[in-house]
Structure 1
Amino acid sequence: MLINFTVGNYRSFKENKTFSLNATSFQEHKEFIREGNGIKFLPVVAIYGANSSGKSNLLSALQMMKKILLFSVKTNPTEILITDPFLLDEQNKHKPTFFEVVFLSEGNTYKYGFEYSKDKINAEWLYTIKNEREKLLFIRNDNGIGVSKDFPEGVDKESSTADNRLFLSLVAQLNGKISLAVMNWFEKLKYFSGITDSEFKIYSCNYLFENNENSLKAKDFIKSMDLGFTDIQKAETDIKDYAFSEINSEMKETIEQEIPNLWDKLLPPKWNETNIPIFKTGHLFRKSDGTVTEVFFRNDKMESEGTKKIINISGPIVEALSKGETFVIDELDAKLHPLLTKKIIEIFNSPDTNPNNAQLIFATHDTNLLSNKILRRDQIWFAEKNRDDESTDIYPLSEIKEQNGEKIRNDRVYEKDYINGKYGAIPYLKD
């Protein structure tokens, strides 16, 4: 489970900013709070802010950290690393990017982070945390890599690490127990875009029809959303039809006419006959004699965008709930009715439907969710751009104070206050 994440010099994040899922001492919805290894944390956090405020950059930073770590061991020693620094300051363009996470994995709490630039890993560190005390396992800086006696799996591996590779990934490749626990946590971290959810429909289609307990849970999840169909089935279509499923037939015909031998150019020969799994949804059909039968339609052609999204993300959501994983999604509310978004939040917040302490972290513009009946004050975060240098700042509702110095009370109408600019993180619109 993610406890906090710090990012600096990445896209709109000029300075280091920390996003926390630590639970505060607020008394509302205490049933939402989870605990592990002596740490109280939150299962759901929502992030609000104007367009271009940096909400998406915060979530993509976590995904970038994951990618760099997981692919580091495959990095060629002369390969340039992918960087995306804050570009509106001359000094930042040449500074390293900073990533750090604190998380729970396999009963232990770890703090892992690194700084990197195009040609090298500038710094790297790993700590364990117990009873709020940190114990160093290894640290890397300009002087080299120092390994603690509490991290024996890293001993004598220091000189084997190239300048542009992460030490942790090397030790994990050699089956180090602690380093594998860290890597496994990152591998289970799920990041999705709520707008381009169609990329997950093959994943969810296979997940739904594995005929096991989790596939039944995924079907139950879809049924709980009351999407208006009676059943869901798996079917297949060829890869060419699948590729064109999001565009109309007229455009498809035009493309094929304008680009002769299109598929020979796009696909290897062995893929030309490949079938892709798809969904079909069942609906009641009333005949003229009064009898009722069930008919099935391809959901990618007949169902609404919101219905398709729920089906497409059902697999990853149920898997996260089943395994206690962290599920990060940008624009969760896109294409969805507010009540469906609220239902998903309730599933993650409830210990009954989320017994494995999975987490949902999402960016949204849906102000209907800004309610003390749905979220605690520490579950609501805001992203706001500095008007002077366009850098992003992030802060939770739980830290905002009234003019009298008191923190925002939980009986406030959060939605109204936010729209009226009381919490910041809204567009500056001229009359």
Structure 2
Amino acid sequence: MEALQGGTADHLLPCTASNTETCQIVSELVTWNKLLRGSRFEIREDPETCNQLCVTNSTTAPPMEEIFDTEQWPQYQKLLEWLLTTHRCIGSVSLRLSSMEDTSPSLLRAVCQNRWIKTLSIADIKTTAAAAVVDILPCLTSIEKLHLTPEEIPPDVFVAPVSTLLEASACLSSLHVSGKFAQGGTIDMLFTGLLRKPTLAELHFQDLSVHGDAYPQPVKEYLGSTTSLKVLSVTTRTPSMQMAVLEGVLENGSIEKLSLDLFRGTEEIMPLVSRVIKTKRAIRILNISRSVPVPPAEPSVYDCLVLPLIENDTLQEVGVPFYIFHSATGSALLRALPAKENLKMVRITSTCRTPQLHWLCAELKRSGAEEKVSLEGYSLTMDIRFLHCKAFSMANLSFAEYERKLAALVRLPNCQHLKMIAIYTKN
């Protein structure tokens, strides 16, 4: 706290950022972060934007309860408010409201006053902070990317203010919402609001699930009618929601990147995914990797995806579950990969058992597709036989026996495809 008391005014410099120059405080980031240490906040250079900074709750400091200075928080709060309201160099703000006690309204208002802030992430929204977020959302008309992550409450409470923002804002282009909705009616309200927002380019839902089986017609209508949406990412376990999303996508001509997370491996869902691959040639990146067969369906439920993937000439990257390679049908896709110029990478979620992995690695080598496949979710923790397979990018040898570690180290010089290696040894 000494740094804060020892002349904060010396650092209250005006913003000098321009379209071509960074602000003068960039050269003082170390000093600024020392000043802010007890506040749980830090300033970083923003990797996504040129000449701009990000104000975020600190993730590199020790546990928050150890560094938070309750007595001096009012001073920190004033310093942060000054920074957020006066510096155009702040382009991104990330707030974790659970760590800010009852001070969130003032910082949210400060964000609202700075039209240069384009990305706002509000996470860990607890019940006590919900009212402040609800009040401020309709006013965020300069924000381009908005992330909302409730903690104790469902996202339903934010639907009305977000819908108001969608109507009022000419800037919002990317919306991320996390959390399971409690009522289907609020989802209908949200997507009805989206119908009135023709400029949204990215839409991300982490757990777009709802109680009940009612078919969400507005979801299909929005996805089927929007011509501006380029990126769609949906995580949902609700069958009716999965159907509505896929049927909407089948009527869409603008989506280029599509992620369907936790979509069920069933006789109803996978044929729709197959039709998407066959007919939606605007899609360049498709991810369906975290999908599992739902009894009574067998792994063969994924067979309908193989031929469309082979015949598709526009996909550049695809993520698929390991189950697609349960038989010779899946092997046909691997054999086709070397000749497919458009498809640069196939990502396979490999939560499979070792015998299956042995077969897949051998098949990749036979087909010559190793360098166009990435095996993810499997980090070679115990079995070093697969170190040679170019589909792996990580090896975690921390839990291997001592002899296996030594054997792996001998092989590593010939494993240039590995990008990350973890080795933990006890003293």
**TM-score normalised by L of structure 1:** 0.28
Greater fraction of residues in strand: 1
TM-score, with length taken from structure 2: 0.28
Q: Which structure ranks higher in relative contact order (CA pairs < 8 Å, sequence separation ≥ 6)?
A: 1
